[in-house]
Amino acid sequence: MSPSTPVPKPPLPVRLLDATLDLLLPAACVGCGVARTQLCHECRRHLTAAEPLRARPAHPPPGLPEIYAAVRYGGPARQVLLAHKERGALRLATPLGQALALAARAAFPATPSTERPLLLVPMPSTTHTTRARGHNPTVRVARAAASALRAAGIPTRVVPALRHGRAVADQSGLDAAARQRNLRGALTVHAHRTTLREGHVLVVDDLVTTGASLSEATRALAEAGADVLAGAVVAATQLRD
């Protein structure tokens, strides 16, 4: 299976449930606005049959590993990410997870051995943000990605090892240098230290812009003894063609 090969579809019961809910609760596609479905076939395909590429922040921060993204941020991908994260459209975690699984395969194309599983370490949200949203979108998408990867025969676990060790400012509106200063030393590894040394570690997130968050996560994991191979995200603002 090549990195560009789409991961398996969700199980039939999940797809039937989605279809039933779409019929009972008619909605417009969050990606393009077509009627009577939460996510139309074309927008779903845009995410789940993508050709992952390496992300390329304009000014990559020190220590940033190679980052792979399923799609460019914009259009349907942007709308789906926002609907899942900010509006609680939880069923969208499945196609977003499939997209993240594609990026993970591109980041680490070799099939891991059963002795050393692929470990997806999601970027953490603050307790306040998680409570405000009512869920943790990055962890939810990471779990959907892990499920898709296991269905493809790749032993995969989600390891929520990171947390914020201090308060940080809202990243929106900050330029790349300010984001690096804001996040420097902010993350810690609070659990799973032994587990992190026993698998192939990928840092995962929904979106990469400047790379500051993923760079800080890589620093914290490395200091805890983890060997971070790369990062994988659903979408990136800049991709290397």
| pLDDT (mean) for 143-170 | 91
pLDDT value at position 27? 75
| Number of structural domains the chain divides into | 1
| pLDDT (mean) for 214-237 | 95
Q: How far is CA 65 from the centre of its chain?
A: 15
| pLDDT (mean) for 32-45 | 91
What are the CB-based long-range contacts (under 8 Å, 24+) for 7-13?
A: 7/48, 7/98, 7/101, 7/102, 7/105, 7/148, 7/149, 7/151, 7/152, 8/148, 8/151, 8/152, 10/94, 10/98
In a domain, 132, yes or no: yes
28-32, 34-38, 45-49, 203-207: the lowest-pLDDT one: 34-38
232 or 14: which leads in pLDDT = 232
By CB neighbour count within 10 A (0-12 exposed, 13-18 middle, 19+ buried), where does 87 fall?
exposed
In a domain, 241, yes or no: no
Token output for 235: 């979408």
| pLDDT (mean) for 67-96 | 94
pLDDT value at position 52? 95
Token output for 6: 């789409």
In a domain, 6, yes or no: no
| pLDDT (mean) for 124-132 | 78
Beta-carbon count within 10 A of 43 CB? 23
In a domain, 2, yes or no: no
Query: Does residue 118 have a pLDDT over 70?
Result: yes
Q: Nearest to residue 217, comparing CAs of 130, 121, 128?
A: 121
User: What is d(CA 27, CA 90) in angstroms, rounded to the nearest whole number?
Assistant: 14
pLDDT value at position 3? 43
In a domain, 110, yes or no: yes
Token output for 146: 């892990």
Q: Give residue 57's domain range.
A: 12-236
31-40, 141-150, 155-164: the lowest-pLDDT one: 31-40
Task: Give the list of residues 6+ apart from residue 160 with CB closer than 8 angstroms, or none.
Answer: 121, 122, 124, 139, 191, 192
Q: 169-182: per-residue pLDDT in tens?
A: 677 777 777 777 76
In a domain, 3, yes or no: no
Q: Mean of the per-residue pLDDT values for the chain? A: 86
112 or 37: which leads in pLDDT = 37
Contact of 150 with 156, CB cutoff 8 Å: yes
